[in-house]
Amino acid sequence: MNSPFSQALQRAVATLGPSLGLLSDLGDRFVEAGHELALVGGPVRDAFLGRTSADLDLTTSASPEETERILAAWGETTWDIGRAFGTIGTVRRGTTVEVTTYRADAYDRQSRKPIVAFGDNLEDDLRRRDFTVNAMALRLPSLEFVDPYGGLADLAAKRLRTPAPAPVSFADDPLRMMRAARFGAHLELVPSAEVYAAMRELAPSIKIVSAERVRDELSKLLLAPSPRPGLRLLVDTGLADHILPELPALRLEIDEHHRHKDVYEHSLTVLDQAIALEGPATGPPESVPGPDLVLRLAALLHDIGKPKTRRFEAGGGVSFHHHEMVGAKLTKARLRALRFDKETVNAVSRLVELHLRFHGYGDGAWTDSAVRRYVTDAGPLLARLHRLTRADCTTRNARKARRLAATYDELERRIARLQEEEELAAVRPELNGHEIAEILGIRPGPVLGKAYSFLLSVRLDDGPIGKEAAADRLRAWWAEQEKT
């Protein structure tokens, strides 16, 4: 009878099936030339998890020059953009592979840049990798499984360890600590005690990593099916203090009477609920196909203005007046510091600014004017705002939750009706800039902009009234302006 290990290996090899013939053929080429070749890292890990991997990363005893010669004869085209790190790439029959010479790097611990040195054996190459679950390999073409650091056992136990001692591994490359959080989110791996302790000790060293690399790891974490475990790890180890300090700052001290929520836990719950409201990946834009980074960032950061706006009121109450405005500014500053693109920065900060707008209308007695302004202010973010607002309800009072949901249901029906009647998505004044200038006898400039804004307010407040009525309102407004 096959052992559990043999069965697991057979399943992994079966998962690699579509690529196996191609990989075995390439392995034959390297062996014939007197070299070793192995599939390594993520593709091997994913195969044991029953997942196919888009990346096919291989490692070899061949030098970059020898690798390039073999790949040039085997593939359809080759590239050497990673030559300095020993990596040569090729594509064959639509499949991309990258082959890297065994590495035995040393690290400049002031900048995390490796001093590239090539190695001479697979086991040492695997030791320099980030985690044991990524330090497994399949030799090609023999399919011999190589696992010198117990990665398969760790994968089965959902345990995260490093091949080298964790303090050494993280000192070599502090970004690995963020990858630990990402793997916690994506693969439900729990750090070993040594990994956790090293993360706490070395958390400040993350500051030597570029903002762009931190941003990319944070984004990957947030796009996981369940980011909460990874975010908790960032906060609990102190990493978040250096990359996203607004998140641990949400752990506000709860007053003895529990008159306000734990904002940190509330924010994680809002994130969970926002994810649950995303549409399928192939859904239409109005369904907010998941995973949606803008919605998830907004859900996580929507209350980061609360620490700066918290006030203790007479009688024991707590207020956070205008925290959405303060939070929008903090969000914009943090995302810019992390080098997010302008579109993402503006979208997330706008959602944070608008997340309380629904509650500003009290018991739901919305006028048509209020609905128009809500839609116009949200613009293309309306579908995300719907989901953020609904996700922000974390009350344990079932009656209150049902009332809020029903009120928002009614608002969405009102929006749909007005959109059908008035094309709210493209709401504009009923007179364009040229027509306004002609009626008032003015030239383009600040005064024309002010007149345009006035007519936009008329449109939002009263709906379509026709060009003639709009011109009358404009003349009346102009007459008042001339008086002042």
pLDDT tens digits, residue range 22-60?
Answer: 999 999 999 999 999 999 999 999 999 999 887 899 999
Note the pLDDT of residue 483: 67
Reduced to 3 states (helix: H, G, I; strand: E, B; else coil), residue 348 is: helix
Tokens read off for 160: 């995260």
Closest CA to 277 of 392, 377, 379: 392
Q: Which of 225-229, 325-329, 364-368, 422-426 has the lowest mean pLDDT?
A: 422-426
The domains of the chain are located at 1-157, 161-244, 277-426, 433-483
CB-based burial of residue 361 (10 Å sphere; 0-12 exposed, 13-18 middle, 19+ buried)?
Answer: middle
End-to-end distance of the chain based on CA atoms, in angstroms?
96
Q: What are the residues facing 279 on neighbouring strands?
A: 289
CA atoms of 215 and 203, how far apart (whole Å)? 16
Q: Which of 194-198, 256-260, 463-467 has the lowest mean pLDDT?
A: 256-260
Question: pLDDT tens digits for 120-177?
Answer: 899 999 999 999 999 999 999 999 999 999 999 999 999 999 999 999 999 999 999 9
Note the pLDDT of residue 227: 97
Note the pLDDT of residue 484: 64
Equal fold, 1-157 vs 161-244: no
What is the model's pTM? 0.84
| Cis omega (within 30 of 0) for bond into 141 | yes
Determine contact, residues 306/322, Cβ cutoff 8 Å: no
CA atoms of 238 and 197, how far apart (whole Å)? 11
Question: pLDDT tens digits for 184-196?
Answer: 999 999 999 999 9
CA atoms of 382 and 412, how far apart (whole Å)? 10
Alpha helices by DSSP H, 338-397: 342-354, 368-378, 382-391
CA atoms of 104 and 109, how far apart (whole Å)? 16
Determine contact, residues 99/37, Cβ cutoff 8 Å: yes
Q: Which CATH architecture has domain 161-244?
A: Orthogonal Bundle (1.10)
Domain 1-157, CATH among 3.30.460.10, 3.40.50.300, 3.40.220.10, 3.10.20.30:
3.30.460.10
**How many residues in the chain?**
484
CA atoms of 109 and 173, how far apart (whole Å)? 8
Mean pLDDT in residue range 86-112:
84
